[in-house]
Structure 1
């Protein structure tokens, strides 16, 4: 069983050697055409950075999905806590209700890990390509000459394939600095997400515990494993973390989750720029409710009209049933003639 897993892993790596080495060689050719020495360590280092940028650009749709999933998980935290109070005694029912809630919200709690999970095979493929070049083995599209060039290329006074375990003090210092940078960017990226784009009610509960776990465990894992990575792999991961930090900063700044410090900061910026209209008595903030009908005010009357009373405004039905004042004498005259 274990041998079958190893064979499957090697097959995947064999497939990934070609896109990883092909993208890196394309950048290496470009920098060589721009006048850099093909055997220079800077040329190979820039090629690895170009590979990193290419991979991260291809992962942008997944990163957007990750941000949306993370935001939905934050907004669902009050409902999840209600489910915990209601079904805390029944774990199976609790899990069913949570999955139902996730489906209704069109989110996935594991979507936030997709970019990291998809990068790991590429990460290991690059590790094998560089490590193979250091041992005189060419993987993917690398020719034996190019593998030899990469293994001997010097960057910051150390070879691209050098590791912290090398006995040279200078190599240990450079590798230690890169490991610290890789660990620090991993920590700061996760810290940025928790401090800027998570509402206060999302900082408690299982999702918050998951985020805190990633905040402290991932940097520790990379710090321990980083001593076995070649300089080129450390350069790849540090560049990838810096890209993630900048990309996440842009998304949080321009499209923050409601109820977060980043959301309030964006409102303040919009106020200063005049993009956000403050609610006023004349222009209420909520205008979707129908306005109450205005009470019609009576028309102003002159003093003479007020003295005359309602008759000046038109006769009432009762007045129409009474005889006109001009006709009254005629009726009396007719009655008098009849008496005589």
Structure 2
């Protein structure tokens, strides 16, 4: 079942497509055949600007968790044999400090609807009862609606598709690895193991997702991944972790 066949989502899809077409037309004098791709980049930057407060909140949360590490170790030592009590005390400590073990996931989770909507926009050949004109646009000869896995499955993959989407995946994975090395948080033995694992997995999962989504969504993921690293480096200087 196509969820975007439901009236509310169909309307959202139609409005988003119209907005993307309008932005593409506005950028056409500047970018020419790459106008639609540039429109995706502009939308990505606009979304990330709106999410700057979320990024600041994340940086503060990381700083707070690092500061709480000694108290969390104390709780672990005291209630290690009572998992339920340890969980209650740990969550209460986080609540008292106004943060959460999963705060680091917020920027990625907040963007999920945007990526999903871009995926839908460049996946549907018809939107609002009309042919989707966005699918006629490409970047360096690769249609914005094409995915690498889809092209491989249909036998339509070519060198340009492999090179362009492959390059995006390499950039995403490389930035994720750089983020892991530069922004590694201090070890917190009392924090649930899944929190650190989830953040790390989400970073590299993005590269895998880029193989399956249309090129337009892959562009979004690439730009937002690079933005995230730069933003976190700058915010880490503003909110340094305690030694």
Provide the TM-score with structure 2 as the length reference. 0.84
Corresponding residue for 2:158? 169
1:233 and 2:222 aligned: no
1:155 and 2:139 aligned: yes
Structure-2 change in CA distance of 1:255 and 1:217 (3 Å) = closer
Structure-2 change in CA distance of 1:18 and 1:182 (3 Å) = farther
Secondary structure of 1:76's partner?
helix
Identify unmatched segments of 5+ residues in structure 1.
260-340
Q: Deviations over 1:180-208 (max 9, x none)?
A: 212222332343221xxx4xxx3242549
1:250 and 2:242 aligned: no
Secondary structure of 1:131's partner?
coil
1:30 and 2:26 aligned: yes
Paired with 1:180 and 1:77, the residues of 2 have a C-alpha distance of 34
Structure-2 change in CA distance of 1:255 and 1:18 (3 Å) = farther
Corresponding residue for 2:173? 183
Corresponding residue for 1:193? 183
Asked whether the 8 Å contact 2:40–2:220 carries over to 1, the reply is yes
Which structure has more relative contact order (CA 8 Å, sep 6+)? It is: 2
Give the superposition deviation at 1:16: 4.7
Give the superposition deviation at 1:45: 0.6
Give the superposition deviation at 1:79: 0.7
| Structure 1 or 2: more helix by fraction | 2
Return the index of the structure with the highest Cα Rg: 1
Q: Out of 71, 77, 82, which is 1:85 matched to?
A: 77
Identify unmatched segments of 5+ residues in structure 2.
none
Structure-2 change in CA distance of 1:177 and 1:137 (3 Å) = same
Asked whether the 8 Å contact 1:72–1:107 carries over to 2, the reply is yes
Paired with 1:9 and 1:183, the residues of 2 have a C-alpha distance of 34
Provide the TM-score with structure 1 as the length reference. 0.62
Asked whether the 8 Å contact 2:37–2:139 carries over to 1, the reply is yes
Aligned residues: 237
